[in-house]
Structure formats: C-alpha cells, structure tokens
Structure 1
Amino acid sequence: MMTNPTGRITQGQFSFLPDLTDAEIALQIDYGLQKGYAWSVEYTDDPHPRNTYWEMFGMPMFDLGDAAGVVLELKECRKTFPHHYIRLMAFDSTRGVETITMSFIVNRPASEAGFSLVRQEVHGRTMRYTVRSYATDKPEGERSGA
C-alpha cells in the first residue's frame, strides 16, 4: 500500500497539502511573528529525512515585525536556487534555547528524485535497511530538477 500517492517529499508542516501560495505563506509567517518566533530560510538539493541541517540563506531574522521581510528573503532564495527545496523555519527562544516550532517546504524542484530502500544482509540472516536518496547519484550542484 502506498502511503504517499503523490510521491512528494513530506517534511514539516503542510507536506500533504497542495503548495502554499505566497499569500498563505505570509499568513503563516505572521502567525509565527505574533508568537514571537524568529524565521530563517533554508535550502538543499538533498532532502533525505536525516539531512536536518540544510544550508541557510542569509541570516536568521530575529527582529522582524512584518512578514514582508521574510517573504522578500524567500523570493531572493527562489531566484538564487530555483530548482532546490526551500523551507521556512520558525524558532522560539522564549525558554532560553532556540526550539524549532514551525518548519515547512515552500519551494520544490520540478522533478523530485525520491528514495530507494536498500536492504543488506548482515551477521547471518539479519537484515539491515537504509534509505538512499536518488538525488545523491549526481554530484552537489548538478542535482537540480531543471
């Protein structure tokens, strides 16, 4: 049984929904700003589930009071990396540490490479499974879905 019939990468909030419009993204940013969250824009060409540290585009935006600043940074990231995955991350620092409170993908390549499940027999008949990203078949910088 296929649990993700769309074949899209499902990381963060809203992953199973259609792509958010820029107006809907701005509403989510406003929600986070009202809660006191700081925003950052991140991108990658290898969205493996264990690849939690994506590249940061610009600096985290701690002092913003308006979603327009985050949206502007997002648009610049889209211009620079149009065929990469781009996500927005919101951080809550009210407890003295930065805790990720919101994370969602806002840009995807036209073609998503997907993953394979690699099975390996070890120590007798014990099976070990690994998820491998098809994106890593190509070197970094050549993985875009262009």
Structure 2
Amino acid sequence: MRVTQGTFSFLPDLTDEQITKQVQYCLDNGWAVNLEYTDDPHPRNTYWDMWGHPMFDIEDAAGVMMELQSCRKAFGDRYIRMSAFDSSHGWESVKLSFLVNRPKDEPGFRLRRQEGHGRNMRYTTEPYADAKPEGERYGV
C-alpha cells in the first residue's frame, strides 16, 4: 500500500530534480522550507520529528537539497516530508507540503470495525507497522 499525503500524493515519487524545482518555487515566493521525518505516517499524526531548523534565510534550492541529503542519510528508512511556510501575514501558514522520501516497504493500514449501539458502526485505521517499536518499524 502506498501512503498518500501532501500535494503530489497521487503522482509517482518526484525525482531530486523535480524536488529542487519545487523548492526553488517556494524560495522564490519567500516561503521558509523545513524537513520532517517519521516512521508513523498515520494521517492524524501531525507531530513529525523536525530535521534541523526551518530554513528562513536560504535563497538557493541547493542548500535545502543538501539538508535533504543529510536527512536521507540519517533517516532514509523513514518517511520524510518537506513543507513550505508563508509568514508574510504575521503567522505561518503551510503553502506546500509533500513527501520526498519513503521506506522501501510500506506495509499499509488495517481497517478496524466496531459495532456500536443500534446499527451504528465505527471505523478506525491502524498501521501494520505499529506492531514494532519506534525506530524499528521499517527495515533498512
């Protein structure tokens, strides 16, 4: 199962050249870029670990791509997402967010169904990978 999150979620994975063009677009618009990683890509998990600090003062996509390569070197077995923030209005709004790395094996999610009062049904999703402890969910 392929996890789909972010702006380009239903497209094939972007190449580094395509990622560089998207990063430059963000920088040209004055947006700050940051990198985050996780081994729990559940759609409701908004608390990913941040790689370094947001890159507010970078003007060239090459600097962001160097940070991405460092992040991939350390956490290449996890999901890595890049986000761009616009702070021109005095608060930060996410303008663009997309996955730039994913593990080789994506086990996916299971659907749990629970019967409620009357004929009500409740559904929830759980990742198959959560059976393993954090940091061991995906093979290297």
2:45: which partner in 1? 51
Partner of 1:145: 139
Distance 1:141 1:54 in 2: 13
- Tell me what 1:16 maps to: 10
- Superposition TM-score, scaled by structure 1 size: 0.92
Structure 1: gaps (5+ residues): 1-6
Change (3 A) 1:32 1:54: same
1:84 aligns with 2:78: yes
How many residue pairs get aligned? The number is 140
- 2:20 equivalent in structure 1: 26
Partner of 1:130 in structure 2?
Answer: 124
Q: Distance in 2 between matches of 1:46 and 1:113?
A: 11
Q: Which residue of 2 aligns with 1:115?
A: 109
- One-letter amino acid of the structure 1 residue matched with residue 130 of structure 2: T
Deviations 1:14-49 (A, max 9, x none): 111111111111100000011110000000001000
- SS for the counterpart of 1:116 is strand
TM-score (norm 2): 0.96
Shift of 1:9: 0.6
Alignment partners' CA distance in 1, 2:92 and 2:139:
33
Output the aligned Cα RMSD. 0.9
Conservation of the 8 A alpha-carbon contact between 1:112 and 1:145: no
Aligned residue type for 2:7 = Q
